[in-house]
Amino acid sequence: MMRPHTKQVFAAAALAVAASTTALAAPVAYRNVSIDGVNIAYREAGSPDKPTLLLLHGVPSSSRMYDGLMRKLGDRYHLIAPDYPGFGHSDAPAQTASSTASSTCRK
């Protein structure tokens, strides 16, 4: 007889295997938008009439980390994953005198 905890572990493992073998269904679109003169790249999947989820990545990663997840969830959600300025395919903003460390220290 299996203990209840063991059944949960087997169920979780079966779910993980099923998710990993499911065909990747939703297409991911690669788009760009200009914000304050900086080109920001983002990935988008799913229909805008579905609930929207904003997928933010950590540093030093990019939105690429969400490609598989977006393909799997794109039939149920509207997903947007931006690249931060200077990461992935987004442009890095131009450095101005007011944004440098030396000018900040002088103030």
pLDDT tens for residues 57-82? 888 788 898 999 999 999 999 999 99
- pLDDT value of position 2: 53
- Of residues 8, 81, 78, the one with CA closest to residue 46: 78
| Residue-averaged pLDDT of the chain | 79
Provide the CA 78 distance to its chain's centre, in angstroms: 12
- Of residues 70, 65, 67, 41, the one with CA closest to residue 53: 70
Q: What's the rounded Cα separation, in Å, for the pair 88 and 90?
A: 6
Residue ranges of the chain with pLDDT lower than 50?
A: 103
Q: In the chain, how long is the greatest CA-to-CA distance?
A: 72
Residue 5 CB neighbours (<10 A): 8
Give pTM, 2 decimals: 0.64
